Chains A and B, each alone.
Chain A
C-alpha cells in the first residue's frame, strides 16, 4: 500500500555543506572532475586495523574539543543570522553519529573530558552553546535517512503555521566506532566502492559530512516540493528481496513528480544487493531518468547524506552540470546509470533518495525555476 508523499513545498533560502573537498561548490566541482575523496585508511585510526576507504576532513582520532567542532564552526558561519532555536525559528538537528566517537575515545583513553559531548544531547548542547541556539532544537536520529526526516519535519512545521523559518543542521563524522561497526558487517572492506556496478563483491566507503539548509514557506528558485518515507521492517540490514520497500517509496515520490522531467540521485553506497534493487526500481519508476550517485567519491556520510547531497545537487544545478557516478564502472545494474556528468538543462526536477538500516526508505523531490 502506498501512502501519499508529503507535499508541503518549502523554499530553500540557503543550503551548504562541508566535505573533505570543501563547501558545496568545491564538492560539486570535484565530483564533476571525477575526483575521489576516499582514501584507504586504518579502520580504527591510530589503533590500526585493516585499510578501508574513508573520506576524512582530518585525522579520524577524536580530539579535545571534538574534531568536528572546528569544521562545524566553519560551516555555521554561512547560516544567516536569526534567533535560531526560538519557537518560531526552530532548529532541526539530524545525525546518526552525533559525538559517538568521543565515547570510543573515552573507552580507549579513560579521559572523562571526552564524555562531555559523547551522547546526542550532549553534542547538541555543545552546538547550542557554540552557536547561541535556543531550546527549540528538535533532534532526530534514524540512521542514514535522518536528514530526510529533518527536512520533511521542517516543512511540516512551516506548513502547520508553527514556524516562520526552519534551520536544518546535520553532521556526521567518521570514528572508529562507526568504521569498526561497518567493518564488522564486512561491507566496509579493502575495496573502493563502485556504486551500481555489476561486480563480484560489494563495498562501501564512509565519509565526513555536514550540511545545513534554511527552509521557508514562501517559494524560492529552488524548492523541496515533496517527501516520501517508508519503513519496510523486514530485516535490520537487508531489504525485501522483491524490492517492495524501494518500490513503495519510489511510487509515492513519483506520483508527486508526475509530469516533471527528473534525474535521480540515488543512495548508491556500493553494496550489491541494495544497489541492484534500487537501480531496478529507478529504471521501472523513472524510465527516462539518469541515475547518479556520489558516495563512490564522498563516501557514505551516514545520517547526513541526504542534506550533504542536497547541497551538492543545488551547487551542481547552479552550474548547469550534474556529476556522474564517481567510482562507478560498466557494466552497471541498469543502462541509465550515469557514469559521466550530464547537463541539467533538460530537467525541471530531481529525486534525491536515501536508505537505512531496518529497510527505511526516503526520497525528496527538488524542483527549480
Chain B
C-alpha cells in the first residue's frame, strides 16, 4: 500500500458564467497588480487554490489538465498572421501553473504536467505517489472554452483544486491510498468529478494501474 496525506486543500468552483475578467476582480487581492493583468482564468484559479500553500525549491508539483491553456490557445490562434508573443507563451502547457510560480519567484525541484483524459486523475495521483519529494502539490483544473467548447475540445466549466500531499498524518484532511493487486480496471473519475469530490469531501474508490485507489477523508 502506498499513501499520501492531503493538507491545505482548496478548490475553486466559480459560477459557470465567470469570465477571466470576473475572476480578476474577485481574486484581485491574491495577486500583484502587474501579474494580475496578464493572468489567464485557469492561472487565476490555480493561484487562488495555492494561496497560502508554501512550496520550496526541493518540492514538486503534479499538474493535471486535459484541456490546459484553452483560452490562450484560442486567442493565440486568433492573433495570426501577426502572432502574439505573449499569447504564444501562455498557450504552452503548463503556462497556468508557471504564471503563479513565476509570479511568486518560487523555484521548485520538479514539475509534472499531465495532459491526458481517460485515466488522467489516476495517472496524476500515481505520479504524486512515486515522487520522492516530501511535499508534493497536487494541482488540477480547466478553464471554460469558447469556440473550442463548441467543438467539444474544451471544458464546459472552469475549476481548479490544489492540495499539498505529504507523509504526515497529523492535521491531514484526507488521504490518497493505492493498494496494489487489482487485475482489472474500473472507470476512473474525471478531473471535474475529482475536483467536486475534493470540494464536497466525498470519498472515491476505483481500480486501475494494477491496484485499488481510494480518496478517504479523516
Q: List residues of chain A with CB under 8 Å of any chain B CB.
A: 1, 3, 6, 44, 47, 49, 87-88, 90, 96, 98, 100, 103-104, 107, 112, 115, 118-122, 124-125, 135-143, 149, 153, 156-157, 160-162, 176-177, 180-185, 229-237, 245, 248, 357-360
CB <8 Å contact, B88 and A229: no
Q: Which of B82, B95, B102, B130 contacts A160 (CB 8 A)?
A: B130
Report how far A242 CA is from B40 CA in the complex, Å: 29
Report how far A110 CA is from B81 CA in the complex, Å: 16
A-B contact pairs, 27 of them (CB 8 A): A96-B92, A100-B73, A104-B77, A104-B80, A115-B153, A120-B66, A120-B68, A136-B119, A138-B116, A141-B93, A161-B180, A162-B209, A177-B77, A180-B81, A181-B85, A181-B91, A182-B88, A229-B109, A229-B110, A233-B101, A233-B104, A233-B105, A234-B102, A234-B107, A236-B95, A236-B98, A358-B101
Known contacts A234-B105, A235-B102, A237-B89; A138 and B153 CB within 8 A of each other: no
Q: How many A-B residue pairs have CB under 8 A?
A: 162
**Distance from B169 Cβ to chain A, minimum over Cβ atoms (Å):** 21
Task: Check if B67 is an interface residue, CB within 8 A of chain A.
Answer: yes
**Distance from A304 Cβ to chain B, minimum over Cβ atoms (Å):** 15
Task: Check if B21 is an interface residue, CB within 8 A of chain A.
Answer: no
Report how far A360 CA is from B107 CA in the complex, Å: 10
B115 partner residues in chain A, CB cutoff 8 A? 98, 120-121, 139-141
Classify the secondary structure of B's interface with A.
loop
CB <8 Å contact, B111 and A180: no
Q: Which residue of A lies closest to B89 (CB)?
A: A236
CB <8 Å contact, A1 and B57: yes
Known contacts A141-B68, A181-B85; A233 and B108 CB within 8 A of each other: yes
Task: Check if B203 is an interface residue, CB within 8 A of chain A.
Answer: no
Q: Which of A47, A141, A162, A185 contacts B126 (CB 8 A)?
A: A162
Known contacts A88-B210, A153-B112, A232-B107; A180 and B89 CB within 8 A of each other: no
Task: Check if B146 is an interface residue, CB within 8 A of chain A.
Answer: no
CB <8 Å contact, A357 and B151: no
CB <8 Å contact, B58 and A1: yes
Known contacts A103-B73, A124-B116, A181-B83; A156 and B108 CB within 8 A of each other: no
Q: List residues of chain B with CB under 8 Å of any chain A CB.
A: 56-58, 66-68, 73, 76-78, 80-85, 88-95, 98, 101-102, 104-120, 123, 126-127, 130-133, 151, 153, 180, 185, 208-210
**Distance from B130 Cβ to chain A, minimum over Cβ atoms (Å):** 5
Counting chain A CB atoms within 10 Å of each CB, the highest count among B68, B92, B131 belongs to: B92
B114 partner residues in chain A, CB cutoff 8 A? 138-141
Report how far A327 CA is from B151 CA in the complex, Å: 44
CB <8 Å contact, A233 and B106: yes
CB <8 Å contact, A121 and B209: no
Q: Which of B58, B102, B113 contacts A236 (CB 8 A)?
A: B102
Q: Which of B83, B117, B208, B209 contacts A180 (CB 8 A)?
A: B83
**Distance from B134 Cβ to chain A, minimum over Cβ atoms (Å):** 10
Report how far A143 CA is from B113 CA in the complex, Å: 10
Known contacts A88-B210, A103-B77, A157-B130; A183 and B83 CB within 8 A of each other: yes
A100 partner residues in chain B, CB cutoff 8 A? 73
CB <8 Å contact, A153 and B127: yes
Report how far A347 CA is from B106 CA in the complex, Å: 37
B127 partner residues in chain A, CB cutoff 8 A? 138, 153
CB <8 Å contact, A358 and B98: yes
Report how far A124 CA is from B80 CA in the complex, Å: 26
Q: Which of A88, A184, A360 contacts B85 (CB 8 A)?
A: A184
Report how far A141 CA is from B69 CA in the complex, Å: 12
Q: Which residue of B lies closest to A118 (CB)?
A: B153
B116 partner residues in chain A, CB cutoff 8 A? 120-121, 124, 137-139
Report how far A140 CA is from B85 CA in the complex, Å: 23
